[in-house]
Structure 1
Amino acid sequence: MDRTTRQAALWATAVAVPITLVVALVAILATRPDDGTAAEPSATPPRPQATTPVAMDAPKLSERATVVCRALVSQLPTAVRDLRVRPVTAGHEQNAAYGDPAITVSCGAPKATYPPTDQVFQLNRVCWHQVERPDASEWTTVDREVPVRVTVPRAYDGPGQWTTAFSDTVIATVRSLEKIPTGCKP
């Protein structure tokens, strides 16, 4: 074999081997069965829930509280995790409900009264006082000009974590008190 033929054979091999490997790899990947591990985006379907209105009271609010509560309710999310918003029987400008059983949000709730030894929880920069009821956990803001109450039924684990879903909206729409109650750290 002369030198020119040998160089041509080496060049042909140098080009053919990588191309053959790429073609083989593509063929293997194209023909292998799907093992179900491919990462595809998928939305978590919302859990089934009632669509009937949730019974809620609508106490008369002062003019300022009405403005604040309308702002709060208008900024609430349409869903919290997989719980969609539901209609309420009264006070649609101050109340909201999510899921079934319903987690409720009441703006203009009565001010939380509690002994100074009770613990308050700062959840996402909002101070809440928690009261345990037989059927639910109630969380009321203690550092806002208009109190907001979130009621989380016992059916949901981690009621404080559900409550935090509303903290950003409370911060954005309800002014903080000038004098923060004892136990709340700014």
Structure 2
Amino acid sequence: MDEIISSPTAGAEPAEQTASTTARKPVGPTGKKPAAQTAARKPGWDRATRRAALVATLIAVPVTVAVAGFTFAKLAPDTPAAAPSPTATSARPQSTAPVEMAAPALAARPATVCRALMSQLPPSVRDLTQRPVTAGAEQNAAYGDPALTVACGGAEPAVPATGDVWTINKVCWYAAEEADATVLTTVDRETAVRVTVPRAYEQPLQWIAPFADAVVASVPSAGDTPAGCTG
């Protein structure tokens, strides 16, 4: 008995092929395309997207620049501090020109004493440095600008009964006020020593100590001492 094999009907597609075809061509319930796909193709969508991206870029760029500037400012080295301005305690500018001083002739003994005194004077007093003099370097000295001067030799001043005398470092000084300076002269030494302190220097008695030390070291005491001088 012959075996009969039935063949598929002509023109019919296999089930798998039909399913595949159906998957590639989805159709909605009403025969229209899905809403999502339709929305993706709405007119103006690309323009709106580009505009939003441009706005975001315009906002992001200034923020990035600001952050970069802030970071640079933090990492940059600090600005060097300004140089301090001169203060009242700074050394004052001083002339180095010779100071004009008189040099009267001295007898042998006073001349010897004065040379000894000049050798004992300090090179500077506070911030005043010693300057050359126009005459009598063996009996005169000057410091600073305006010049504080030291003159050795000459007669002692006559001290009035009401005159001020001061004992500074074991030396007795008579203080006389002039228009532009205070003049202090020893009144208890063999040879008189005169120190002129310009008004520019306050409290003139406080400038005398270094000179008093030099006087003690080089100028002998006199026998007669004015009343009021002690020590």
Quickly name the TM-score band, shorter chain normalised.
0.7 to 0.9
Match of 1:58 among 100, 103, 113: 103
1:146 Cα offset (Å): 0.2
Question: 186, 202, 205: which one pairs with 1:160?
Answer: 205
Aligned to 1:47: 92
- 2:167 aligned residue (122, 126, 132): 122
Structure 1 contact 96–106 (Cα < 8 Å) conserved? yes
Extract unaligned runs of 5+ from structure 1. 1-43
Question: Residue 183 of structure 2 corresponds to which residue in structure 1?
Answer: 138
Counterpart residue number, 1:112: 157
Q: What amino acid is the match of 1:152?
A: V
Q: Which has the larger radius of gyration?
A: 2
Deviations 1:97-153 (A, max 9, x none): 000000000000331112123121001111000000010000000000000000000
SS at match of 1:152: strand
Q: 1:66 aligns to what SS in structure 2?
A: helix
Q: Is the contact between residue 46 and residue 84 of structure 1 (CA under 8 Å) also seen in structure 2?
A: no
C-alpha separation between the residues in 1 aligned to 2:178 and 2:210? 21
3-state SS of paired residue (2:196): strand
TM-score for both structures, normalised by structure 2? 0.60
2: CA distance, partners of 1:69 / 1:83: 21
Identity of aligned residues (%): 57
* Number of aligned positions between the proteins: 143
For 2:220 and 2:174, the matched residues in 1 are separated by: 17
Question: Is the counterpart of residue 173 in structure 1 residue 228 in structure 2?
Answer: no
- Structure 1 length-normalised TM: 0.74
RMSD value, Cα = 1.3
Shift of 1:46: 4.4
Q: Alignment partner of 2:166: what SS?
A: strand
- Offset, 1:45: 7.0
